[in-house]
Amino acid sequence: MTTAAAAAMLALLVFLGRWQVDRGHEKEERQALLDARMAQAPVRLTGSVPSAEPLLFRHVVAAGEWLADRQVFVDNQIHEGRAGFGVVTPLRLSDRDEVVLVNRGWIARDASYPRAPAVPAPPGPVTISGIATIPPARFVELSQDAIAGNVWQNLTIERFRVQTGLNALPVVVVDDHPAPGLKSMHERPDAGVAKHREYALTWFALAATVLALWIALNTRRRP
């Protein structure tokens, strides 16, 4: 390994490591913001909001009525090692046209799979409380049939809007009080700090390996 090549490789690897460290610091600030939001007073959802960002990981409260016929079951959700569904039901906000999607909890697959089990949504006015989240931005579709009736492989707000024609707020509320027969789906903020720390360690370790190889190759005794 030539000195020039080793120096170039070291510079690149150290640059990448430092970049990941800087990204980690940015994510630490983001994590602190999200953690602080969890301690803030609840926000009442009363209508349209411009974006999900101000609400993300805030406690929220909403009043309205369930639209049981628009309920969807998000498949391949794992809870305590078992596969099942996340039960997501739109709540039409009181005296408004908007709806907010509510993850009412998790239920295991049963003998009727791939059909979803019966999960009723009680009629009449209800008030719910929970944590405002957004669905994962990255996912894998296991087949071209991403939607089979009320069973969906993945949920996005835009997909729900297109499929139902409903004006859904840009967040999904994870219900603090799952419906009877459902398990709680806890959500905690994770800005991804650990990922950047792992990447930084990887780049720095590779830099150390390159340096060690250069030293070994350039200091070994020649016959």
- Tell if the pTM clears 0.85, that is, is over it: no
Asked whether 197 and 26 are in contact (CB, 8 A), the reply is no
Please state, rounded to an integer, the average pLDDT across all residues of the chain: 82
pLDDT of residue 71: 96
Confidence band of 167 (pLDDT split at 50, 70, 90): very high
pLDDT of residue 188: 61
Inform me whether the pLDDT recorded for 145 exceeds 80: no
Helices (H) and strands (E) in the chain, counts: 3, 9
- Could you report the per-residue pLDDT of 50-59, keeping only the tens digit for each? 888 888 888 8
The full DSSP string for 79-120 is ETTEEEEEEEEEEEETTSS-EEEEEEEEEE--TTTTSPPP--
191: its two tokens: 């800005």
**Cα atoms in the Cβ-side hemisphere of radius 13 Å centred on 184:** 9
User: Rounded to an integer, what distance in angstroms lies between the CA atom of residue 145 and that of residue 142?
Assistant: 8
Query: Where is pLDDT greater, at 99 or 186?
Result: 99
Inform me whether the pLDDT recorded for 1 exceeds 60: no
Report the DSSP pairing between strands 151-152 and 72-79.
Answer: parallel
